[in-house]
Structure 1
């Protein structure tokens, strides 16, 4: 097969417009709450960890509400605002702009919007003057005028903004609710999180307004606490502050195994279908069977015009049975594994390595979940690999007495080895050579399965689990810690977002300073991939002098994201 004939199948990370995840049970009550006039104004929180499907829920809500004339839907993403000095103002202008666009032919609405934006403009001038950022010449009288407190009726004051905004919203023709969908709040810096919440609470929270805020609740609470400084009351205040703003908190459910299997099947089917519309009946079939409690959710497909191949459904089942529980419950983690499968499949095709998809998935699961056992298999001479796999599978099946686990194989691999398809008779030599060349196994050969598992947890979901893994890692000898950190940092090449990794190794080096050279080298290597949370963390580290060079390079590099560069410059100023 030539390079031109090869096709890489990847699944994008964009939120879905079709409900693959059974979120109808979440979307329906939110729509009902929005249509209930008794709570006015209303703020709803849609909470889940990273990759849990929050943006998909907002998409589904928008598709339900936008066609209805009584609702005006506004999308807002504070993380993408250009002016990071006035996120509050940007959010308010976003709402006003979309209201004005909807009623562009209504003169009274357009005039009211212009008046409100004028108030914001004066507030922004005051903010700029306060920061000393304007270089024009001002005389004393002009400065006094600019900073003179203004009454509620002054059109240059924010004091009367909320009343004027309330009159604008109340006078919108036909509109019963203005629904603002706020996404990616948990990706913002703490100051931007607070500014967004203040805009909602102080200026936009008037009758007929609804806010649906999609965010990781713990991340938002931490941002509130950070903005208050390290005090004994900051965490308690953060909880109360958020509860004061969000009247209805809704947590997205973790995927059950049956839902994960159906979701994986729908993703695989999307690569197989010629027409994306063919997926809609599949998703509806899943929803109908879910309501009736029938399993598998992707069952009884004979009545559909199009259905995926049985091999595709079998692959979905195989993945649902093989993936670890934490990945199985997270839609984004499932997509990432499928993308790794697509990349490895293409790599095998480019080398003319013939391997069945089911075999490839099983080998990827071994490589991903039980790296040391994968290394044992890869390091076994080709002539002895079949014998090792046969003994491995016999031990896993438990059908013959007195069969011990093969040496170098983790006990946790029993379920993996017992699962279909059997591999003892499969020619894996060429694939193993390819896979071993694509991953770094040298460092991992020095590590136990326990340490590899701790590193995996360190890069996984949940701050508490990551912190617990870090405590265990820092109790190892320094040479073993160095090997473990080198192994962890090599995973950066396969991560779309390396911030969690970098932040955890900064904490790690704070406990074991002898490892700081590894952290600095990794940060330099991934300089343009670092997020805005990294510079403040380096600045707060007890080893901040070691990170000064990294922070300076982040502040000076024009190719760095503006948010990251500004965060680095703030650290240098501090």
Structure 2
């Protein structure tokens, strides 16, 4: 298992980013400097900061002194005190360690710390208002012409707050006078100049993208108003788009005509240097997975040897695979553990699809591996043996395309044991271009591997229509629904991955994914005809779905209809963006009596999740039904209201 915490062990090949940051931060002519380290959540920003901090700490002293690194997370202070005071106090507390206890510099640090206490304000008031200084900075950083508007907004806020006690119960007369930003910065600059053994103070600010808008802006204010002096640098690690949105939300009144807001331009002005962490490419993702597995299976000395070999290969070719099973064997020789060999084999198979599907995100890759290891360990405790390669391939589908994973489960668990998986085998052979139709038939005495699939022993039946029979699968083509499923580009790539699954019993593997699956445990009480209709109502093929709607209206007796609708709506709740939602809307259009039940279930689903199906739902749901009208009115009040309103108007014109 692997921790999700930041680390100073570079498994991602960040050395080129580390070098870039260290060079910029150690150039006196660039100081004062505010540097941004930008990237998505889980891209490795925190680890990069930790690695750079360690590099700076290892730089030996020279005649100009050493580097002082301060780590600060505004997120940890949010809700407790003014973030400007917290950041200033963190820097001064660290500098206290750099001065003699009884010297003049210690007195100077103490005076600045006392001044910093006057920055504190009651948090509730801080959240509810925008400080005039913040508005001026935000506007001036982008366009001086906005300064007047900022002043008017700020004055209006100040006027309303000064007329009465604030939300924390303090009147303006009781509060200490705020510190003058210019005076504080001047004295802080004098202190920094007097620290002859300090080359620079470098403040590493992390987790800013987890903070509320007022905290984001106040952090920048603290840097610009109080701490931005010679021999100082600030490194801010954050998701750029999140920070931009926070700034826009903090100052909605400063939008300019035709512009989206201040966020992007404000951030550009505040950051003199920006280091962007790229997503891992497929080869980089494969190397990262192999390094994680090597760290798990190897003793420290041997892992260090493997990592050094990887570093050497990365210097020669940064974009290629720097570690795979062959490269590991070259480094380790006969000491290659069998467990590592087997894990590297399946990791190489899933890495290209996994790396692209998880957008090259190191955190998501690590979580995938942790989940896989947990399931293997859980199966072992229960006396079940799972093939890690099979589990990894199934988890790729589960983590990236859950509705397709659900469909795979439904098809696998339907029908007699000797039919199960034959369609999957045929689909794998088809995409790989292997064999003639007759060669797809397994040997007469060949049965799927392992115990029977999930649900077979207790007689449960799937709510999804079972694909073609063995004879049809081997007659030269695939069932239409299976063919459409298999021809999707992501399914085509998945089917080509090793190992092939068509001849394996996948039931034990689905057992450990059941938290995400709709098992349809009550369908055993349904007749074969109802089960067949349920499967067709969830088909991707529109003609098959609509034919099932007609059959339901003509052949299902009223006593069975509520049960059928209930099972169909279970599928809708599980995958709102899937074809079951189309089937429910089309069935509701044909049988308006079920509209209240359908609308009641749809209310449980966030409208944004339903957005891909909103147009269909608005068009198909019975127009005059009160439950439908109430549902659509509720959707109109949501963030997708404009879309729903347009769809309703378009329907009204028909």
1:425 counterpart SS class: coil
Q: Structure 1 residues 384 and 145, CA, compared in 2 at 3 Å: closer, same or farther?
A: closer
Q: Check if 1:36 corresponds to 2:109.
A: no
Contact 2:313–2:322, Cα closer than 8 Å, also in 1: yes
Query: Among residues 512, 516, 536, which one is paired with 1:439 in the alignment?
Result: 516
The runs of 5 or more residues in structure 1 that have no matched partner are 1-9, 150-155, 452-468, 491-501, 519-538, 544-574
- TM-score (norm. length: structure 2): 0.63
Question: 158-167 vs 254-263, which deviates more?
Answer: 158-167
1:423 counterpart SS class: coil
> Which is bigger in relative contact order (C-alpha 8 A, separation at least 6)?
1
Contact 1:290–1:297, Cα closer than 8 Å, also in 2: yes
Greater radius of gyration (CA)? 2
Match of residue 4 from structure 1 = none
**Partners of 2:614 and 2:85 in 1: CA distance:** 38
Match of residue 74 from structure 2 = 78
Contact 1:52–1:330, Cα closer than 8 Å, also in 2: yes
User: Post-superposition shift, 1:15?
Assistant: 1.4
Q: Check if 1:404 corresponds to 2:474.
A: no
Q: Structure 1 residues 112 and 148, CA, compared in 2 at 3 Å: closer, same or farther?
A: closer
> What do the CA deviations read for 1:429-478 (whole angstroms, capped 9, x no partner)?
4434x246443225997766799xxxxxxxxxxxxxxxxx99999x9798
Match of residue 166 from structure 2 = 132
Q: Structure 1 residues 477 and 92, CA, compared in 2 at 3 Å: closer, same or farther?
A: farther
1:66 counterpart SS class: helix
Query: Among residues 90, 94, 98, which one is paired with 2:86 in the alignment?
Result: 90
**Partners of 1:209 and 1:104 in 2: CA distance:** 21
User: Post-superposition shift, 1:240?
Assistant: 2.3
> What do the CA deviations read for 1:16-57 (whole angstroms, capped 9, x no partner)?
221111111111011001111221201111111111111111
Q: Check if 1:257 corresponds to 2:282.
A: yes
User: Post-superposition shift, 1:178?
Assistant: 0.6
User: Post-superposition shift, 1:282?
Assistant: 2.6
Match of residue 455 from structure 1 = none
Match of residue 247 from structure 1 = 272
Question: 166-175 vs 345-354, which deviates more?
Answer: 345-354
Q: Check if 1:50 corresponds to 2:36.
A: no
The runs of 5 or more residues in structure 2 that have no matched partner are 126-160, 438-475, 521-533, 543-574, 589-596, 619-626, 632-636, 642-654
1:101-500 to 2 correspondences below 5 Å? 101-103=97-99, 105=101, 107-124=103-120, 132=166, 157-229=180-252, 232-233=255-256, 235-275=260-300, 278-293=302-317, 295-298=320-323, 300-301=327-328, 302-304=330-332, 309-323=340-354, 325-368=356-399, 369=401, 370-381=404-415, 382-400=417-435, 403-406=476-479, 408-409=481-482, 410=485, 411-412=487-488, 413-432=491-510, 434-435=511-512, 437-441=514-518
User: Post-superposition shift, 1:319?
Assistant: 2.4
User: Post-superposition shift, 1:85?
Assistant: 4.6
Q: Structure 1 residues 213 and 121, CA, compared in 2 at 3 Å: closer, same or farther?
A: same
User: Post-superposition shift, 1:91?
Assistant: 1.0
User: Post-superposition shift, 1:422?
Assistant: 2.1
**RMSD of equivalent CA atoms:** 4.2
- TM-score (norm. length: structure 1): 0.71
Q: Structure 1 residues 260 and 284, CA, compared in 2 at 3 Å: closer, same or farther?
A: same
2:30 counterpart SS class: coil
Q: Structure 1 residues 26 and 240, CA, compared in 2 at 3 Å: closer, same or farther?
A: same
Match of residue 4 from structure 2 = 13
**Partners of 1:258 and 1:417 in 2: CA distance:** 20
Match of residue 561 from structure 2 = none
User: Post-superposition shift, 1:231?
Assistant: 5.4
**Partners of 2:494 and 2:541 in 1: CA distance:** 18
> What do the CA deviations read for 1:195-235 (whole angstroms, capped 9, x no partner)?
00111111111111011111011111111111111654274
Contact 2:36–2:235, Cα closer than 8 Å, also in 1: yes
Match of residue 457 from structure 1 = none
**Partners of 1:488 and 1:396 in 2: CA distance:** 40
Contact 1:78–1:196, Cα closer than 8 Å, also in 2: yes
Q: Structure 1 residues 251 and 396, CA, compared in 2 at 3 Å: closer, same or farther?
A: same
